A and B are shown apart, each in its own frame.
Chain A
């Protein structure tokens, strides 16, 4: 029985290197080679396509956010990208046009993937909602609202996805402290009728939740 030789590990896409060409990369997938779609987009939208980048064999198309819904509709109706695989926010913090929103789309028939990106500046934190095109965008847009504070115009149920409704901050912004803002998230009371605990490290500061009944002394005490 011949033993299968393990393929040599090669890291083709380390950030220090420029990405290898698709010819020299044995792992490059044709699924992200979407030249036909890119041609159709540029002929249809022209200047609205701001930038097309290729990294690791994947195409990212940055477009004017004013035309994103039109573009998504075009991709869905004409190009067959019927599946919104992911939608998320990116905080670039110190850059101009600080936030990005990315849409990962999949064409199930042809097995193609494309990524669309729009940029959002801190001055205008409102973006048209993609829920009219892809219903799957609903929860993802709620998550982006929760985590980054970007509103989606036309979303019919824009509540917070993860954090409590009365939470005041947007935790995935870079300036948000990792351990949170003390006092912003209350802990439950330590007794059945007590008040909320606002210190997140109550136990470390000496507060001990009492047993709700008088715990008997043990024989070994």
Chain B
């Protein structure tokens, strides 16, 4: 009888979350914070050979208002750090951050006075990529990890808070890509892929 009331056709149940997350995760717009050589690999990641358009992220946005994923690609000097933080603060929520390469993650070989020893000293980083520079595949892997993170969020409940006073959340556990390929695994083994 139920089929009569819906015009004799089948129907599908889903959650708004699933739809919203599906849309968000497949249209992440990266802000290419290309600071040095990693930016070259980031260009390859967007170019036809690796073709990040397959993941819906081919629209690199140089305006923070239009972007929701910041890719910090390269070493961050103390002078540049203030600009990066300012650009990050201008990006609209929800937003995510990838620290691409050894320099952005830890300072890398630039263990010296002028380079910030990891952009996580002032940015909430979601995914770290090892490598110097990482291959474009690694950046795609990181993007897929962000996508997975987005798909697992309760987005609608979150959006209900929009405009209210923000309370700092406990920090999300950062995810570390293993350099040996395969599933991403945290050093403490806490992260398990679904």
Contact = CB atoms under 8 A, between A and B. Distances in A.
Interface of A: 162-164, 171, 176-181, 185-192, 197, 200-204, 207-220
B183 interface: no
Interface residues of B, number: 39
B122 interface: yes
B169 A209 contact: no
Given A178-B113, A189-B122, A210-B171, A216 B84 contact: no
B78 A164 contact: yes
A192 B93 CA distance: 13
Contact of B78 (A187, A213, A219): A187
Contacts of A210: 124, 168-169, 171
A181 B93 CA distance: 35
A164 B80 CA distance: 10
B111 interface: yes
A210 B118 CA distance: 16
Contacts of A188: 81-82, 84-86, 122
A85 to B, nearest CB: 25
Nearest to A218: B152
Interface string B76-109: 0011011011100100011100000000000000
Interface stretch (B3-11, B36-44, B46-54, B154-162): B154-162
Given A164-B78, A185-B78, A214-B161, A191 B113 contact: no
B120 A209 contact: yes
Nearest to A196: B82
B153 interface: yes
A215 to B, nearest CB: 5
A185 to B, nearest CB: 4
